[in-house]
Chain A
Amino acid sequence: MNYITEIEKLVPIPTVLKGTAADDDVYDYEPMRQIIEDAGMDVIRNIEQFKKQDLNLFVTPIFVDASGTALETGIVEYVERNSKSCMEIQPAMKNMAKDSISLNYATEEYPIFYREHGKIYVLPEPQELKNTFESSKCLFSESVISDGTSNYSVTDVTFFEDSFIFTANTSAEDLSPKLVSHGLQTGDYLEIKQTLSGNDTYFSIPKSYVIRISANTVRFVGHVWNETSIANGLTDDLDNDHLEASDSWHYANTVYQVGSILGDILYVEGYQPRASESIAYIVKPPSTRGEQINIEGDYYNSDSNQVETATNSAFADSNTGTTE
């Protein structure tokens, strides 16, 4: 469905809202995009007020970790822990739920959840184990990269939990097999955060990106530029959207901020951060409209068979890092 066309059938759209012919995607044109976003928000608000029975159409699952997870909407459909339904308790009862000699003690069989200070908590506390999305969190730290050349030395990529380490000495290093080996599957979203910029003066804001996993590979969303190109006005230095050894000074430029709306995505394979950078990959549930219209729901903990089974079956033999 082309929303612009449908809207235009109802009312002529002023040119200023429609964008220009040069726009590849009119939805990206800010005024019209904003209007349609506002429309989506208002529809959900009305459904919440007048047709609650349809609210489940907009549910998006989120993961809750041991330190609690922030609620965006405050609306919780239901909560599960390890396929066990959680009963909600008042936050004042939380200490009893943690006390093993209390009758209100939360157990694996009878888990509970509560809300406090804008966050949701689950008891017993979820644990991060392997083979879950959450266990795919990793840290990426990089050693020195020499200036102006393709002499990269990427080292010390340490994943949490299983101490997965890889080293890469070429500029064309593709992180796909490393991430795929952690059981991520097509359609998953990863949030990349640059946690340390060090002396890097080129890695401009935003320092966080979203990548999406496409079929059999993991690619970074965005563009890669070389230093010269930036100086000359950000000319794309990609060859066929692939990071190649001939491209010097690779790094992802401003692309998608965390929370951006992800639609049709151009993929860029591989990513080479600059010196003294660290990034963390954090799994987020699929969300095509950011957090704004999400309604928090499912809870998946580390023992969730649903997640583990799906990922393993999807990438049972993908550790070779097959690319498209």
Chain B
Amino acid sequence: MNLVSFPSKYEKAVILYSAMQVTLKKLGEVMDEYSLTQTGTNPTNFISEEDPEMANVVTQRGMSEAQWCQAKYNALKVEYLSFFNVPTQQQGAQK
């Protein structure tokens, strides 16, 4: 793949959107796992192994992996849309 020609101004947007998709995919996996094991209230392999620091945050906040993925996705989306000056619902409510 060659994205060199993609304007640098929007490279970050590409990365943010890609991260959103990865997070969504992980959310789907987590939900599948949850339905199979009826667990998922604690961080398991995904966050624990690949992002220990985030695992601690999740543990401290009492979040499930699914909640973490959803929160991460929402945060990424807000940042992504900011590239295009798209008002988010939150910003709209403030106005």
Please give, as numbers and ranges, the residues of chain B lying within 8 Å of A6 by CB-CB distance. 12, 15
Q: In whole angstroms, how far apart are the Cα atoms of A40 and B6 in the complex?
A: 8
Contact A36–B2 (Cβ < 8 Å): no
Please give, as numbers and ranges, the residues of chain A lying within 8 Å of B72 by CB-CB distance. 11
Please give, as numbers and ranges, the residues of chain A lying within 8 Å of B47 by CB-CB distance. 12
Please give, as numbers and ranges, the residues of chain A lying within 8 Å of B11 by CB-CB distance. 1
Contact B19–A58 (Cβ < 8 Å): no
Contact A51–B84 (Cβ < 8 Å): yes
Contact A50–B10 (Cβ < 8 Å): no
Binds B, one of A41-49, A114-122, A135-143: A41-49
Q: In whole angstroms, how far apart are the Cα atoms of A42 and B10 in the complex?
A: 11
Q: In whole angstroms, how far apart are the Cα atoms of A50 and B84 in the complex?
A: 6
Quote the shortest CB–CB distance from A155 to chain B (angstroms). Answer: 37
Contact B9–A54 (Cβ < 8 Å): yes
Contact B17–A42 (Cβ < 8 Å): yes
8 Å CB interface, A277-323 against B: 288-289
Quote the shortest CB–CB distance from B83 to chain A (angstroms). Answer: 7
Contact A3–B10 (Cβ < 8 Å): no
Contact B22–A17 (Cβ < 8 Å): yes
Question: Quick one: given A1-B11, A17-B25, are A7 and B5 in contact (CB under 8 Å)?
Answer: no
Please give, as numbers and ranges, the residues of chain B lying within 8 Å of A14 by CB-CB distance. 22, 25-26, 29, 46
Task: Report how many residues on chain A are interfacial, defined by Cβ distance under 8 Å.
Answer: 36
Which of B7, B10, B13, B16 lies at the interface centre, i.e. has the most chain A CB atoms within 10 A of its CB?
A: B10
Binds B, one of A176-184, A245-253, A257-265: A257-265
Task: Report how many residues on chain B are interfacial, defined by Cβ distance under 8 Å.
Answer: 36
- Interface membership of B1, Cβ < 8 A: yes
Which of B3, B9, B81 lies at the interface centre, i.e. has the most chain A CB atoms within 10 A of its CB?
A: B3
Contact B85–A39 (Cβ < 8 Å): no
Question: Quick one: given A14-B46, A57-B10, are A40 and B3 in contact (CB under 8 Å)?
Answer: yes
Please give, as numbers and ranges, the residues of chain B lying within 8 Å of A288 by CB-CB distance. 2-5
Quote the shortest CB–CB distance from B44 to chain A (angstroms). Answer: 13
- Interface membership of A10, Cβ < 8 A: yes
Please give, as numbers and ranges, the residues of chain A lying within 8 Å of B81 by CB-CB distance. 46
- Interface membership of A98, Cβ < 8 A: no
Which of B18, B72, B83 lies at the interface centre, i.e. has the most chain A CB atoms within 10 A of its CB?
A: B18
Contact A264–B13 (Cβ < 8 Å): no
Please give, as numbers and ranges, the residues of chain A lying within 8 Å of B7 by CB-CB distance. 54, 57-58
| Residue from A35, A54, A262 in contact with B22 in the complex, judged by beta carbons closer than 8 Å | A35
| Residue from B10, B21, B26, B51 in contact with A47 in the complex, judged by beta carbons closer than 8 Å | B10
- Interface membership of B58, Cβ < 8 A: no
Contact A262–B2 (Cβ < 8 Å): yes
- Interface membership of B57, Cβ < 8 A: no
- Interface membership of A77, Cβ < 8 A: no
Closest partner residue, chain A, to B47 (CB atom)? A12
Q: In whole angstroms, how far apart are the Cα atoms of A194 and B31 in the complex?
A: 48
Please give, as numbers and ranges, the residues of chain A lying within 8 Å of B16 by CB-CB distance. 10, 39
Please give, as numbers and ranges, the residues of chain A lying within 8 Å of B10 by CB-CB distance. 43, 47, 54, 57
Chain B residues within 8 Å of A, Cβ to Cβ: 1-7, 9-19, 21-23, 25-26, 29, 46-47, 50-51, 54, 72, 76, 81, 83-86
24 A-B contacts (beta carbon < 8 Å): A3-B1, A3-B15, A3-B18, A6-B15, A7-B18, A10-B15, A11-B72, A12-B26, A12-B50, A13-B22, A13-B50, A14-B22, A14-B26, A14-B29, A27-B1, A37-B1, A38-B21, A42-B17, A43-B10, A46-B81, A47-B10, A50-B85, A288-B3, A289-B2
Chain A residues within 8 Å of B, Cβ to Cβ: 1, 3, 6-7, 10-14, 17, 25, 27-28, 33, 35-40, 42-43, 46-47, 49-51, 54, 57-58, 261-264, 288-289
Known contacts A7-B22, A39-B21; 16 additional CB pairs below 8 A are: A10-B15, A14-B22, A17-B25, A25-B1, A27-B2, A38-B21, A39-B16, A40-B3, A40-B6, A43-B10, A43-B14, A43-B17, A54-B7, A261-B1, A262-B2, A288-B5
